[in-house]
A and B are shown apart, each in its own frame.
Chain A
Amino acid sequence: MTVPGGVGLTGEVGVIDCPICVGQLHWEQAPLLTLDADGTENPLDLRTVHGDANRRRLLMHAYRRCPGNDAQPPHLLPERFPGLGTRPVTIGLVGASGTGKTHLLAAMVSRLHDATVMARMNLQVQGLDLRMHAAYLGGQVSRFIDRREELPATRIDAPVEFAVGLMVDDLVSGRSHTVVIFDVSGERLQSPDRDLAFINQLSALLCVVDPTAVLGLTGPRQGGVGGDHAFDATMDRLKNARCRPGSPLVPIPAATVVTKADLLTRRGYSEITRWLPHGLHEDLDLGTVEEESRAVYAFLASRNGKRWLGPAHECWDSTLHLASATGTSAVVTEEGARTVGRFPEASFRQRRVLRPLLTLFALTGVLDMGTARNLGRPEGAR
């Protein structure tokens, strides 16, 4: 039996691809365990637990241990990861160091927990692993959204694992999906590290473009034309792992987001004026994603940003977006013993951040919409 939005109690999961090390893991044979407050592992024997309710309660906090491989040490997967009866969706944030991936993700997750917004999309979202999700909400999201604090750069030495794990229920289709989102440092994405095998198995890419890195977009002598090495390295990995010889396209969708879009306002970029951040509400109308994509593509292609369009060219489904996760720049202040970057309250806001993620939801089947059928594809391919 598979419980919608919950845990498979009797259903056999069988062999899955680990989203972290991409090794094959026989789910039922992997050690089942729980963690105490110190992170110490304790074996969990369900045979000693009476009643489905008790089992379900325990399994919400349970993990399976994946042995990893020579590149990736042993790691845990939440027991609920494969248990929704659908194929888990893995999304990778891609972009060089300093492009704003971490802020964009925190802003997205914050929006996903806005019940009003989710109700409009007929979605319900909850954390996959309650422990990790609570830590993410209490750490990254609260620090960024509530305290307006600039988030530190993603560490090179952070373990390779998904930053956010979600269980997304589509109330229209009645289907539930596990969605996990990786946010690895830009430095690491550019490196040849073997422990980034997760990229090979990604279901979708969320590519982040920093407009300050593109020559002239935010200042006359600012930026360059060389593109993003993290994009290039990621696409190379994917092409090697997923493309058949002679096939030009990587068979996953990609949403390319020009973030920090607030920096592009009042600069006379008429082709994207409609899509620049404004208004109070999130633009949730995915029916206009195609238009926005065309506009952003043209914008980048014509204004020194061609080299950032690799994912848009090379992924099977691709969309392009404008978004602003902060609306402003952080002001650095000394607060007690530490230096903090804090966003001014008056101009701090998140705009259009959820739209790229919802688009990927639609492109990966998490969100079942009629409009999603043709999203991201060239007209000839529809």
Chain B
Amino acid sequence: MSAADGDLITYRWSERSLLGRNGVGPVVTSLEPDELVRWDDRLRSLVWAAEPGRDRPARPGHVYRRFGDRAVLLRKESVRDAKGRVGSTEAHVLIAPADRLTPRAALAICATPWQEWLPPETRATRPGALPADRAQPVRLDRLLDLAESFETDALDELGQVPHRLAVRLGALLLAEPDRPLTVIGSPARGEAVVRALAQVLDGFVAHSWEFASLEETDTAAELPGLVFLDQPPPVSLHGGHGRLRVRAAAAADPPAGAAAGPEDRRVADLAERLFSLTRRLGPQILDRLRPERAAASSAEVLQLGERLLLAPGVLGNVDVLLRMAALGDLTPEESGYLTAKRFLTGIEDGLRRLPSGELAAVLRLWEQHPQAVRTFADVRTRLHTEAVARCLAAEPGGEPELRAMLAVSTPDPRAVHEALDARILPRLHQWEPRHALAVVDVLTELHADDMPTERQAVRLLAALEPETLLDAALRRVRSSPGAVRVLLQGLGPDLSRRSRNRLRAVLERSRAVPDLLTKLCADAARGEGSPADRQLLTTLLDLVLGPRADADRLRRLLAACGPTPPAALLHALLSKVDSRRGREVVRSAAADLYLFGRLSGADGRRALTHPDHPEEPPR
């Protein structure tokens, strides 16, 4: 058999089976004789179908089991045998590589009409006709495609599994993952119950999800871990071989009641929360909770529970809770968890563990549902703090999703300060000094350029040489003017002679000096400039014009500023220039500006008002 094929065996009553025996045995197969003998040893105790009950219509049962790297799926049905006797069986067995015939694939195949894909040789022949005993293997890819098309029907059936039954069985599987379980009298078909259990618990608990969906008894040695009986098993001297038998009707009782021990109650609580969460938000939500390795013992399940139960009645992780909060779908316990101050540290820890993509998705959800999250302002700040911190710590161009989301949502200033103080500034020494420039760029991108305090800016940029900062400011003055102020704050108030010389060299190389001055003046004109800013402007003018501010330099500077140099610049120049010629140059430019404003209709007078005292004309 190739990996692309599935082998087949059909069992039914005959006077002489392929193994030479009378009765129910293999009559058609795609296997070679020696393989058939091997598989028959494993399968013959599994092929017998349950007899239809008095009130239950006949329906096929399915068995899924794995044997090493092979998996088998049996479909068996109670039939009349060749002698007309009722209560015999016909079973078709599909044998395939276990990595292809997975539990999920098996459940999907259960839902297909088998007669459509089984080769015609497997069908019962008319009495007297010569039966064929060889069948072609089944093409697995075609079968799995067919199964997929029937999966929707199977999923619809999940609604028939009572919640209480699913929770009860889930709790039992979590409590004893290895213990075989027999479910008696399930109102939903066994296949649907297995699917419901696996959909929720797979990945949380290490279970093979091998099943027998409809049996008459549960004592056969080869039966899988999950067995479903319509009726209690016949009275026997053999127990269930260590199986736990659960009557579905009794599953309506409170799970692991008050008499149960604390561990049982914790496991029952975990099961209840997992199934309730799935019912509320769909199975995909559990993908966010599944551990890296499924719990293989009750002790590991308890550990898992401790990790997943954040507080009494609160299952999940920060990711899940924040998503539910955005959707307005929280229980009172969950809402209380998000609003209680004492859990904020835990929430911060949870946020730190979230992959950036998930964090961005949560940010997006919270932006889309502002009403729902208004209650959780503290959590929103933590969310933004985490996002900002990651963006600031990233390499240039990193965290594009988060940056895009924060650019839209405008981070809370408290979040930016917190991110800088707690997450970035303490780590500066770990990075290249130029990383600080990237931090500034990100802050600018997030429209947070005015948020770092001067103290923060100074600390952030302390490791950079003044000329580096000035160069960076000049390079960004057109593309990212918001960054300029922060960068220049990093220059500090006192510059050494050496620094001044270097800065001057930078200014002489740059063509963006007028832009920089214009920007600083414009800030000042808008009233945004602090005394420190004005001091900075003065310092820069010192550097640009030289200590004596000669008239030629003044002319070149004003010419570079175009026909409308900022009035604030003219003001600054007037206060700086001592020489007569120099002052004339500035006044001439002011007059030109005034006339230009008059002639063009612009309010030249207003343009010439003092930046700090708008009602006062420049003198």
A residues apposed to B, CB below 8 Å: 20, 38-39, 41, 63, 73-77, 96-98, 129, 131-132, 135, 139, 150-153, 155-159, 161-162, 185-187, 190-191, 195, 224, 228-230, 329-330, 332, 336-341
Contacts and interface: CB of A to CB of B under 8 A. Distances in A.
Contacts of B54: 336-338
A12 B548 CA distance: 126
Interface of B: 13, 15, 20-25, 44-48, 51-58, 80-81, 83-89, 216-217, 219-221, 232-241, 245, 247
B245 A191 contact: no
A156 B237 contact: no
B237 A153 contact: no
Query: Most chain-A Cβ atoms within 10 A of its Cβ — which of B20, B23, B80, B88?
Result: B23
Contacts of B236: 39, 132, 159, 161
A153 B87 contact: yes
B18 to A, nearest CB: 13
Contacts of B238: 73-76, 159, 161
Given A97-B24, A187-B25, A339-B80, A153 B85 contact: yes
B563 to A, nearest CB: 98
B22 A338 contact: no
A151 B87 contact: yes
Contact of A20 (B25, B45, B84, B237): B237
Given A41-B239, A96-B23, A190-B22, A153 B81 contact: yes
Given A150-B85, A158-B217, A159-B217, A74 B239 contact: yes
Contact of A156 (B47, B53, B57, B86): B47
Given A98-B83, A337-B52, A190 B235 contact: no
B67 to A, nearest CB: 17
Contacts of A186: 22-23
Nearest to A195: B221
Choose among B55, B221, B247 the residue with the greatest number of A CB atoms under 10 Å from its CB: B221
Contacts of A338: 51-54, 56-58
- B85, B89, B237, B238 — most chain A CB neighbours (10 Å): B237
Contact of A139 (B24, B55, B234): B234
Contacts of B219: 73, 157-159
A337 B87 contact: no
A98 B24 CA distance: 10
A336 B52 CA distance: 11
A187 B51 CA distance: 18
Query: Binding site of A, secondary structure by majority: helix, strand, loop or mixed?
Result: loop
B106 to A, nearest CB: 20
A179 B610 CA distance: 121
Nearest to A132: B235
B84 A332 contact: yes
A291 to B, nearest CB: 31
Contacts of A158: 217, 219
Given A151-B87, A153-B87, A97 B80 contact: no
B239 to A, nearest CB: 6
A98 B80 contact: no
A145 to B, nearest CB: 17
Contact of A98 (B13, B20, B55, B89): B13
B318 to A, nearest CB: 44
B239 A337 contact: no
A103 to B, nearest CB: 10
Nearest to B57: A337
Contacts of B241: 73-74
B183 to A, nearest CB: 13
Q: Which of A39, A131, A156, A186 gathers the greatest number of chain B CB atoms within 10 Å?
A: A156
Nearest to A129: B237
B59 to A, nearest CB: 10
18 contacts: A20-B237, A73-B219, A73-B221, A74-B241, A96-B22, A98-B22, A98-B23, A139-B234, A152-B51, A153-B13, A156-B24, A185-B23, A187-B24, A191-B21, A229-B21, A337-B56, A338-B56, A339-B86
A3 B236 CA distance: 26
A191 B20 CA distance: 10
Given A135-B235, A190-B22, A337-B55, A153 B44 contact: no
Contact of B237 (A97, A151, A161, A190): A161
Nearest to B51: A152
Contacts of A132: 235-237
Given A97-B13, A97-B23, A190-B21, A135 B56 contact: no
Contacts of B46: 157
Contacts of A185: 23
Nearest to B246: A38
A341 B84 contact: yes
B86 A76 contact: no
A340 B54 CA distance: 10
Contacts of A151: 87
A190 B221 contact: no
A191 B13 contact: no
A252 B410 CA distance: 95
Nearest to B56: A337
Contacts of A339: 52, 58, 80, 86
Given A332-B80, A336-B54, A153 B21 contact: no
A230 B23 CA distance: 10
B89 to A, nearest CB: 8
Given A158-B217, A187-B25, A339-B86, A76 B237 contact: yes
Contacts of B84: 329-330, 332, 341
Q: Looking at A74, A155, A330, which has the most chain B CB atoms within 10 Å of its CB?
A: A155
Contacts of A329: 84
Nearest to A329: B84
Nearest to A131: B235
B85 A156 contact: no
Q: Which 10 A-B pairs have the closest CB atoms?
A: A152-B87, A97-B23, A187-B23, A135-B235, A157-B220, A159-B238, A337-B57, A338-B52, A190-B21, A96-B22
